[in-house]
Amino acid sequence: AQSVTQLDSQVPVFEEAPVELRCNYSSSVSVYLFWYVQYPNQGLQLLLKYLSGSTLVESINGFEAEFNKSQTSFHLRKPSVHISDTAEYFCAVTEAGGTSYDKVIFGPGTSLSVIP
C-alpha cells in the first residue's frame, strides 16, 4: 500500500518569493505522482503529474516538481509566487501500471498563504 506525507501543514510566503512544498511517499512498487490544488471554494484541480520519463515536470502556471526515487520525494517548487497561488496543495500517489482501478492516495495537504 502507498502513503503520502506532507510535513508542512501551513506555508506562509511573501509575494514574489520562492516556495517549496514538500512531499514524501512510501511504496513497495513503482508509482505515479500528482500534485492537486484546491483554491478557496473550488474543487480539486490537477496541477501536474509524473508518470515516466523526465523526472522534472512543469505546470502551465510556473510550478515544477521533481521526482526523486532515492529520496522517495516529489517536492513542488515555484521561483516566484503570486497572491493567486494562495490555495491548499495536495500531493498524491498511485500504483504505476496497475491493472485495476486508479486508487489515488492523497496526503493531508499544505496550505499555502501568499502575503502581499
Write out the residues near another protein by the rule CB under 8 A. Answer: 4, 9, 32, 36, 42-46, 49, 51, 90, 92, 94-109
Nearer to another protein, 79 or 98 (CB): 98
Nearer to another protein, 17 or 56 (CB): 56
Q: How far is the C-alpha of 83 from the C-alpha of 98, rounded, in Å?
A: 38
Nearer to another protein, 15 or 75 (CB): 75
Minimum Å distance from CB 99 to another protein? 4
Q: How far is the C-alpha of 91 from the C-alpha of 67, rounded, in Å?
A: 12
Compute, in degrees rounded to 10, the torsion defined by CA atoms 98, 25, 56, 110: 120
Minimum Å distance from CB 71 to another protein? 21
Minimum Å distance from CB 90 to another protein? 5
> Residue 50 to residues 1, 72, 91: CA-CA distances in angstroms?
19, 13, 11
